[in-house]
Amino acid sequence: MSLLQRSSRRYLTRHPWLMGLSVLGVAIGVAVVVAIDLANTSASRAFQLSAETVTGTATHQVVGTGETLDDDVYRRLREAGVRPSAPVVEGYGTLRRGDRTFQVIGIDPLADAAFRPYLGTGASGDLDLGTFMTQDVALMSAPTAADLAVSSEDTLRVEIEGTTHAVAVAGLIEPRNERTRRAVANLLVVDVSTAQRLFGQDGRLSRIDLLAPSDDAARAVYLDGVRRALPDGARLQRSDTRTETVTQMTEAFDLNLTALSLLALIVGAFLIYNTMTFSIVQRRGLLGRLRALGVTRGQVFRLVLGEAAVLGLVGSALGLLLGVVLASGLVQLLAQTINDLYFVVEVSEVTVAPWTLAKGALLGLGTTLLAALPPAREATNAPVSTVLRRSTQEAALRRWAPWWAGVGVLVMGGGGLLLLGTQQSIWAGYGALFCLLVGAALLTPLAVVALASGARPLLGRLTGVIGRMAARGVVTNLSRTGVAIAALTVAIAATVGVGIMIDSFRGTVSDWLEQSLQADVYVQPPSLVFRRSTATLDSSVVRRLRAVEGVAGAYSVRRVRVQARVGPTELVAVEPGPETEDIYQFRDGRPDTAWPAVRTGASVLISEPYSYRYDLGVGDSLRLQTDRGQRPFAIRGVYYDYGSDLGVVLMSRSTYEQYYDDRGVSGLAFTAADTTSVDALIADMRASVAGLQDVLIRSNRALRETSMRVFDRTFTITTVLRLLAIAVAFIGVLTALMALALERRREMGVLRATGMTPPQVGGYLTLQSSLMGAIAGILSLPLGYVLAYVLVFVINKRSFGWTLQLSVPADVLMQALVLAVVAALLAGLYPTWRMARASPALALQDG
């Protein structure tokens, strides 16, 4: 080991706390990034796998206008000689045992072998057709059956949209490898007839699977033939369209999670930067002497980067381990959120993708090295003579502070331009956010000088000379304090920004729910995806509920997914009542002319996210696939809606019935007669449908509470990320300030020697670090606000198209200040204790 390396090792081992905390900072940063990435990958892989399993080898699919299509289409295709082709009826069900969600797929065992050979159907299979086709039986994966302690011929209780069905296990699918084991883990395979019964879809199919020839010319002829055989309302699409659509649904959501996780890493990078800068500043004398002894710039540069690499490696390795552990927790949160917002996915395990780990390790190491570059350059660039004298540098730094601030303003301006120059790019939004953070960090030294100078008279009046000294010390040690405070400011501001954003979001949704839930009682079938319930109420339930005494008004809602020219679209058909016009707040369009048009004709309203996503507005026309073919609908208004980030198209029930054959109802809203209490009405309603479908009957207030609960649940993962960022920030404050205090042993020695008592020295130290914490806290508030502003009005808008009301919650701000000061106080305690015990004489010997 060379002398240089030895000196480096000595330095690192002499400062275990400092190094340990820095490593921890990197580790948490890497862990968060890795965990989010793993959770995202696992969820999308689980979905992909289940989609692939169910799609099988199909290249194309025939689908209907809505969720289903008439099974006569299948008959037509078969008679037109379209083979192979297979009918599919699919949906989701919850198994009472184990409370697990299963994908239920109804197949025709006689036509299915070409598409899903692993099911063992077909003429050469060993499936008992007599049982499979004539009874309510299902096949399930053997390992899953073992997990749930289900054996062949047991009867399962499967709950679908509020109705429980008995389905016997007719057989077990024995997966031969790991991949297929995962693929079929949450699958129940039934006959088409059974699926139609379970989902109440008599005469309807979910889709028809096709296998087109691979040769281009033959494929074109084949697809042409299929199209000719299709009636109006049936549509041919590539089988990956569906997976793509679903992946697109969560794209913005995934991206934001990734960006937020990167924020934790950036905060971690600031910590590394701070640590490395600090170590350089502290060893400036040593480095100067080394240079004077003939060590080259390159050697010093490599030395500093080498140290950073060690920290980065250790931190990243720890981070990877921590990330995998964290991911297993996050993946359930994420799956819950996706289930609440988008689609059903059961993620039973974390897929540890080697690529994710490699990415995490590279990112950790890369960020560390990048953060160490400026300090390394600083250590090598200065001439030997000045490196030996710190005072010159402090003076230079103070002189340069305004220039740095200028550069900071420029960087921020660049971020602003990035926002102005782009319309929809979410990455540009985050780029601007990054510019903002860097700019703010560059501005910090000037702000520190100003704030500390401002605080000096105040502290002087309160605590006398010690206070003045403390304030003065912050400025005179700007090379150390400036960097530390900048790192802390950025870390705390990030948590403030995310905090404000979540709160604004919540407030807006809460106001919106207040506005839009005006009926007294709401009835829905239970649905697996909370915000996109397309489950259907039993028609007898609807009839009975409407007839309950005490009902003054009843309005139905139908939610279906249809195909629009622009893409898959959620269509809502409402029965407009007298209050309807109050419920929908228009962003564009005139309610007084829009509503009459929507009530009577081919006109629709679209929600704000829909308008944003597809760039549609009032006056545009929207082409929807209906049971009467493709039809144009005039857009009469854009209304605020926070129910779905995918957007919604709204039409009146009468228009819906004119264009679609479906007569189902997804939900009902009731107003109670003046003479009836809502609670009594709900009790009557529950009694009237007892024994039928198990529907949710809720009061206005209960539904609002449930909605907010779901909202909070969907933000759990964001909150967790924010807490982790807070943890990193806290560690940052602690590290930076403790390091500063420890480094000043000699100064303390001088103070002790000139007569200060240990408590006085302790007070001085604590006061100074509290002051720095307070400065960081105060600086983080405006920065946090600006971050929140960008998150709410740029990132959120670009990701989801929502207009949110920015509200600044006092507790988030207080939290930031308390975090900063408490961490600062803690950072002062340990050095105080050591200082008080140390002999001034020893401390005076230059260490």
Q: Does 206 bind other proteins (CB under 8 A)?
A: no
**Nearest CA among 554, 514, 653, 608 for reference residue 799:** 608
Q: Does 518 bind other proteins (CB under 8 A)?
A: no
**Nearest CA among 155, 176, 175, 177 for reference residue 166:** 155
Q: Can you tell me which of 124, 423, 675, 754 binds other proteins, judged by CB under 8 A?
A: 124
Identity of the residue, 78 or 587, whose beta carbon is nearer to other proteins in the bound complex: 78
Per the CB < 8 A criterion, the answer to whether 759 and 833 are in contact is: no
Residue 42 C-beta: closest distance to other proteins, Å: 10
Q: Does 170 bind other proteins (CB under 8 A)?
A: yes
Q: What is the rounded CA–CA span in Å between residue 43 and residue 38?
A: 8
**574-602 burial by CB neighbour count: b if 16+ within 10 A, else e?**
bbbeeebeebbebebbebeebbebbbebb
> Could you tell me which residues come within 8 angstroms of residue 294 by beta carbon, excluding any fewer than 6 positions away?
none
Residues 463-502 that bind other proteins (CB under 8 A): none
Q: Can you tell me which of 158, 320, 498, 678 binds other proteins, judged by CB under 8 A?
A: 320
Q: Does 358 bind other proteins (CB under 8 A)?
A: yes
Rounded to 10 deg, the angle between the 297-341 and 716-743 helix axes is: 160
Which stretch of DSSP H or E encloses residue 251? helix 251-282
Q: Does 314 bind other proteins (CB under 8 A)?
A: yes
Considering only 245-253, 258-266, 354-362, 728-736, which stretch makes contact with other proteins by CB under 8 A?
354-362
Q: Can you tell me which of 33, 266, 361, 741 binds other proteins, judged by CB under 8 A?
A: 361
Q: Does 179 bind other proteins (CB under 8 A)?
A: yes
Residue 126 C-beta: closest distance to other proteins, Å: 5
Residues 249-268 that bind other proteins (CB under 8 A): none
150-153 contacts, C-beta under 8 A, 24 or more apart: 150/97
Q: Does 826 bind other proteins (CB under 8 A)?
A: no
Q: Does 223 bind other proteins (CB under 8 A)?
A: no
Q: Does 367 bind other proteins (CB under 8 A)?
A: no
Beta carbons within 10 angstroms of residue 679's beta carbon? 11
Site mask, other proteins, residues 35-74, x = CB under 8 A? ------------------------------------xx-x
Considering only 15-23, 135-143, 243-251, 477-485, which stretch makes contact with other proteins by CB under 8 A?
135-143
Q: Does 79 bind other proteins (CB under 8 A)?
A: yes
Residue 380 C-beta: closest distance to other proteins, Å: 20
Ranges assigned E (strand) in 653-710:
667-672, 696-699
Q: Does 180 bind other proteins (CB under 8 A)?
A: yes
Q: Can you tell me which of 148, 236, 295, 352 binds other proteins, judged by CB under 8 A?
A: 352
**Nearest CA among 657, 590, 648 for reference residue 614:** 648
3 state DSSP class of 319? helix
Residue 196 C-beta: closest distance to other proteins, Å: 4
Q: Does 202 bind other proteins (CB under 8 A)?
A: yes
3 state DSSP class of 100? strand
Q: Does 214 bind other proteins (CB under 8 A)?
A: no
Residue 647 falls in which region: left (phi positive, over 0), alpha (psi -120 to 50) or beta:
left
| The two structure tokens encoding residue 325 | 């552990």
Q: What is the rounded CA–CA span in Å between residue 788 and residue 813?
A: 12
Q: Can you tell me which of 24, 73, 119, 725 binds other proteins, judged by CB under 8 A?
A: 119
Identity of the residue, 125 or 758, whose beta carbon is nearer to other proteins in the bound complex: 125
Which stretch of DSSP H or E encloses residue 87? strand 85-95
Residue 320 C-beta: closest distance to other proteins, Å: 6
Q: Can you tell me which of 7, 11, 48, 78 binds other proteins, judged by CB under 8 A?
A: 78
Which stretch of DSSP H or E encloses residue 195? helix 192-198
Q: What is the rounded CA–CA span in Å between residue 218 and residue 68?
A: 28
Considering only 131-139, 536-544, 696-704, 839-847, which stretch makes contact with other proteins by CB under 8 A?
131-139
Q: Can you tell me which of 9, 157, 227, 461 binds other proteins, judged by CB under 8 A?
A: 9
The residue count for binding other proteins (CB under 8 A) is 75
Q: Where are the alpha helices (DSSP H) in 56-141?
A: 72-79, 129-134
Q: Does 93 bind other proteins (CB under 8 A)?
A: no
